[in-house]
Structure formats: structure tokens, C-alpha cells
Amino acid sequence: MKTINLTHEFAEIQISTKHLTTLINAGAAVVDNISQYEIHARIGVFIEEFKAFFELLSLVKSQLNLDNSKNIKQYILTFSYDELLLLNQTLNEVCNGFFLQEFESQIGVPREEAYLILRFTNELIEKMESNCY
């Protein structure tokens, strides 16, 4: 993942299909491992908003795959500050909040790589908050 453009409200990120799939899988793991009543307290949004966001990411991925006649493996997506917070909390829960027996098969990357994505989102949020980009 790579930052293309950053403001205090939005981040344009170059993301691979693999990492987009990782984010979607992390969302699914949260739904499977945290009760709908805990999601608001632990993630910061209600379950309906959480599911809607990850359904939208899945639709984006599906559309990118349909348009992938040139075999492009990197895309540029724009995330709002709030969406990055949601991704960050989701990744934090997957990496630190509960145990996944077969992490790599469920999330799509080894735990160490998921931590790198978590660190990337966390650094973006910090830069957006400090306006130092």
C-alpha cells in the first residue's frame, strides 16, 4: 500500500487486490468473532454501518475485477478519515482483539503482514490528525 494523496479529510491510497481482499476478510472475521452488540464499543460504529462499509468494499473489488481486462493489480482508492478509522479498528481487532486459529487462511496474509497494514493505516490517521503530510 502506498499513499498517493493526503489531506485532513481524505487519503488516496494505491492498494493491491491482495490487500483489498485482506481488508474485506478482516471485516468478515470481525463479524464472525465479535457479537453485534460489542462491535459498536470495540470498533466505533453500529453493526449495520460496519456491514454496509465492507459490502461496499466487496462491490468495489468486484467492479475492479470486472474491469480488469488489462490485468491491473494495483488500484487507487480514496478513503475518508472515518473510513480509515474503521479500517484501523478492524485490523486492530483482527491482529490483537481475538484469536484466529488459521490467521493466514482466514485473512489472506500472514499476521506480520496484517500488522504492517495496520501500521500503515495508523500512520495515515496520525498524519491526517496532525496535518503533517
Query: In the prediction, which pLDDT does 29 show?
Result: 97
pLDDT in the model for residue 83: 97
Cell 500503515 belongs to: 120
pTM over 0.85, yes/no:
yes
Which pLDDT value is given to residue 63? 82
**DSSP characters over 66-100:** HT-TT---EEEEEEEHHHHHHHHHHHHIIIIIS--
The pLDDT of residue 72: 63
- The answer to whether 97 touches 34, Cβ cutoff 8 Å, is yes
**Low-confidence stretches of the chain (pLDDT beneath 70):** 66-72, 132-133
